Amino acid sequence: MSKVIFEDTSADNLIELRNISQSYDGGQSWIIKDLDLLIENKKGQGEFVAIMGMSGSGKSTLLRYVAGLQQPTEGEVLLRGKPVGPDNRVGMVFQRYSSLPWMTVLENVALALEYQGVSKKERNARAMEMIQMVGLDGHQHKYAQYPTLSGGQLQRVAIARSLLANPEIILMDEPFGALDIKTRLQMQDLLCEIWTKFHPTIVFITHDVNEAVYLADDIYILKHAPAHFAAHVHVDLPLDRNRLIKRDSRFTELVHYVEDKMIDVSNLG
């Protein structure tokens, strides 16, 4: 079995998946088997990790573990060295719009702070800062629903809410997959700006190789049946990126390299 080895270093460990396995039939078959992942807490920089693989390989399940929405059959899931639980979890940005449509943009973004007991005045002030950051100033009193807001605007609401809830970690499950190409490119650029300003650790699922190379520091590729990491590609591009980097020859080389790796992994027995 091919397995990627993740070496522990002196940096603080932020997200750890230790020997993870998943079965839904009492161990007769395994969806995920013996999977390990370590994402370090690179203070003052953050890390952008993209996870790729064939449909059904278990990518979304891994994010659900980290978000505390599902537990593996075997293995440990740790955040900051502690098991994921009610007081130690992070939110997710899904492909499908996850805002509460009966609440305004401002109320949606401030929701996590409300659960934390923050006063209305403070949470609204902090929520407005995030709303302005993601380019939704002037829309804060609109209901967070389609078609009052576009698909891209609804994803901006979700990103702002996640940033305010936990600016250290953002989990994103194909968040731009349902958007038109222009909006998708705009959202990629917004994510670059957010990463540069706040330096969060972002774990991002995508099927788009260009998107993964543009956004990520590291790309991990899942082999399916059962799922485990079979390849790791370090993206050796400058940390501060804009769309011009897509014209660079190194960007093109990396896209082709990741495409080849994806095919190699899909052909593994």
User: What is residue 269's predicted lDDT score, i.e. its pLDDT?
Assistant: 56
Question: Could you tell me where the beta strands, DSSP code E, fall in 82-198?
Answer: 82-83, 92-93, 169-173
Q: Specify which residues 229 forms β-bridges with.
A: 222
> Which residue, among 126, 109, 124, has the nearest Cα to 160 in the 3D structure?
109
Rounded Cα gap, residues 109 and 199, in angstroms: 19
Backbone φ, ψ for residue 149 (5° rounding)? -120, 150
One-letter amino acid at 92 equals: M
Q: How confident is the model at residue 12 (pLDDT cuts 50, 70, 90)?
A: confident
Q: pLDDT tens digits, residue range 47-78?
A: 999 999 988 888 999 999 999 889 999 999 99
DSSP class per residue in 53-72 = ESTTSSHHHHHHHHHTS---
Report the pLDDT value the prediction gives residue 10, as an integer from 0 to 100: 42
Residue with tokens 């996870």: 51
Beta-carbon contacts of 161 under 8 Å, excluding residues fewer than 6 positions away, are: 91, 99, 108, 109, 111, 112, 130
The DSSP 8-state label assigned to residue 240 in this structure reads S
Structural domain boundaries in the chain: 1-89+169-174+195-269, 92-165
The pLDDT-based confidence of 2 (bands split at 50, 70, 90) is very low
What is the SS3 assignment for 92?
A: strand
Pick the CATH number of 1-89+169-174+195-269 from 3.40.50.1820, 3.40.1370.10, 3.40.50.300, 3.40.50.10070: 3.40.50.300
Least confident of 18-22, 128-132, 175-179: 175-179
Q: Report, as an integer, the average pLDDT of 153-162.
A: 89
Confidence of residue 232 (pLDDT cuts 50, 70, 90): very high
Say which range, 14-23, 74-83, 86-95, has the weakest mean pLDDT.
Answer: 86-95
Residue 259 three-state SS: helix
Number of H helices, E strands in the chain: 8, 10
- Other C-beta atoms closer than 10 Å to the C-beta of 145 total 16
- Mean model confidence pLDDT for the chain: 88
pLDDT recorded at residue 97: 66
Share of the chain above pLDDT 90, in %: 56
